[in-house]
Structure 1
Amino acid sequence: MRRRILGLATAVVTVAGAAGCGSSSAGSSSSAASADGKTTQVKVGIVPIGDVAPLYLGQKKGFFGDRGIELKMESAQGGAAIIPGVVSGQFQFGFSNTTSLMIAQTKGVPVTSVANGSATTGDTETDVSGVAVKKDSPIKSAKDLAGRTVAVNTLQNIGDTTVREAVRLDGGDPTEVKFVELAFDQMPAALDSGQVDAAWMGEPALTIAKGQGARVVTSPFAVTDPKLTLTTYFTSTQEAQKDPELVKNFAAAVTESLEYATAHPDEARQVLTEYTKIDGTVLKSLTLPLWPTAYDMASLEKLASLGEQDGLFGDKKPDLKALFP
Structure 2
Amino acid sequence: MAPFLTRLSGRAGFRLAAVSVTAMLALSSCGGSTSRSAPVLPDGADPHAPEVTEISALTFRAPIAAGIIQTSRGGADEEFGLNVTPQWIESSATAVSQIVAGDVQAAQSSYFGVIDAARQGIDVIIVSESYASNPGAASLESMPDSGITELKDLIGKKVAVVSLNSSHAVKIKDSLLDQGLDPAQVEFVELPYGQVPAALQQGTVDASSAQGATLAQVKDTLDTVTIFDYGDGKYNGMAESGWIMKKTFIEQNPNTVAAFQCALLKGTEQVKDEAVYAEILKTDLGFDDQAVASDIAPEFGATIRSEPLQLNADILKKIGSIDEDFDVASITLPTPDNCG
**Shorter-chain TM-score: which interval?**
0.7 to 0.9
RMSD in angstroms over aligned alpha carbons? 2.3
Is 2:73 the counterpart of 1:65?
Answer: no
Is 2:194 the counterpart of 1:185?
Answer: yes
One-letter amino acid of the structure 1 residue matched with residue 243 of structure 2: Y
Residue 309 of structure 1 is aligned with which of 306, 318, 326? 318
- Matched residues, percent identical? 20
Is 2:321 the counterpart of 1:321?
Answer: no
Q: Shift in Å at residue 272 of structure 1?
A: 2.1
Moved more, 85-94 or 296-305: 296-305
Residue 116 of structure 2 is aligned with which of 96, 103, 109? 103
How many angstroms apart in 1 are the aligned matches of 2:50 and 2:307? 42
Distance 1:67 1:300, change over 3 A: closer
Three-state SS of the structure 2 residue aligned to 1:221 is coil
1:91-240 pair list within 5 angstroms:
91-121=104-134, 123=135, 127-212=136-221, 213-240=223-250
Moved more, 73-82 or 87-96: 73-82
Q: Shift in Å at residue 291 of structure 1?
A: 1.2
Q: Shift in Å at residue 88 of structure 1?
A: 1.0
One-letter amino acid of the structure 1 residue matched with residue 257 of structure 2: V
Distance 1:142 1:224, change over 3 A: farther
Do 1:114 and 1:235's aligned partners in 2 also have CA atoms closer than 8 Å?
Answer: yes
Do 1:48 and 1:275's aligned partners in 2 also have CA atoms closer than 8 Å?
Answer: no
Structure 1 residue ranges, 4+ long, deviating more than 6 angstroms after superposition? 34-39
How many angstroms apart in 1 are the aligned matches of 2:20 and 2:61? 18
How many angstroms apart in 2 are the aligned matches of 1:162 and 1:37? 38
Do 1:162 and 1:224's aligned partners in 2 also have CA atoms closer than 8 Å?
Answer: no
Three-state SS of the structure 2 residue aligned to 1:139 is coil
Q: Shift in Å at residue 56 of structure 1?
A: 0.9
How many angstroms apart in 1 are the aligned matches of 2:181 and 2:16? 28
Normalised by the length of structure 2, the TM-score is 0.80
Residue 286 of structure 2 is aligned with which of 271, 277, 288? 277
Q: Shift in Å at residue 265 of structure 1?
A: 2.1
Do 1:120 and 1:226's aligned partners in 2 also have CA atoms closer than 8 Å?
Answer: yes
How many angstroms apart in 1 are the aligned matches of 2:112 and 2:90? 15
How many angstroms apart in 1 are the aligned matches of 2:81 and 2:52? 4
Q: Which residue does the alignment assign to 1:15?
A: none
Three-state SS of the structure 1 residue aligned to 2:19 is coil
How many angstroms apart in 2 are the aligned matches of 1:295 and 1:195? 39
Q: Shift in Å at residue 294 of structure 1?
A: 2.6
Q: Which residue does the alignment assign to 1:29?
A: none
Distance 1:278 1:271, change over 3 A: same
Distance 1:318 1:9, change over 3 A: farther
One-letter amino acid of the structure 1 residue matched with residue 91 of structure 2: G
Residue 97 of structure 2 is aligned with which of 68, 71, 84? 84
Provide the aligned length of Structure 1 versus Structure 2: 293
Residue-by-residue CA offset, 1:240-266 (whole Å, 9 max, x unaligned): 00101000000000011111112x122
How many angstroms apart in 2 are the aligned matches of 1:35 and 1:230? 29
Residue-by-residue CA offset, 1:162-191 (whole Å, 9 max, x unaligned): 011233334533221110011111112111
Q: Shift in Å at residue 37 of structure 1?
A: 11
Do 2:155 and 2:186's aligned partners in 1 also have CA atoms closer than 8 Å?
Answer: yes
Q: Which residue does the alignment assign to 1:48?
A: 61
Distance 1:45 1:36, change over 3 A: closer
How many angstroms apart in 1 are the aligned matches of 2:241 and 2:316? 16
Q: Shift in Å at residue 306 of structure 1?
A: 1.8
Distance 1:248 1:149, change over 3 A: same
Q: Shift in Å at residue 11 of structure 1?
A: 4.4
One-letter amino acid of the structure 1 residue matched with residue 137 of structure 2: V
Normalised by the length of structure 1, the TM-score is 0.83
Is 2:275 the counterpart of 1:266?
Answer: yes
Q: Shift in Å at residue 140 of structure 1?
A: 1.3
One-letter amino acid of the structure 2 residue matched with residue 84 of structure 1: S
Three-state SS of the structure 1 residue aligned to 2:164 is coil
One-letter amino acid of the structure 1 residue matched with residue 326 of structure 2: P
Q: Shift in Å at residue 280 of structure 1?
A: 1.2
Distance 1:173 1:210, change over 3 A: same
Is 2:253 the counterpart of 1:251?
Answer: no
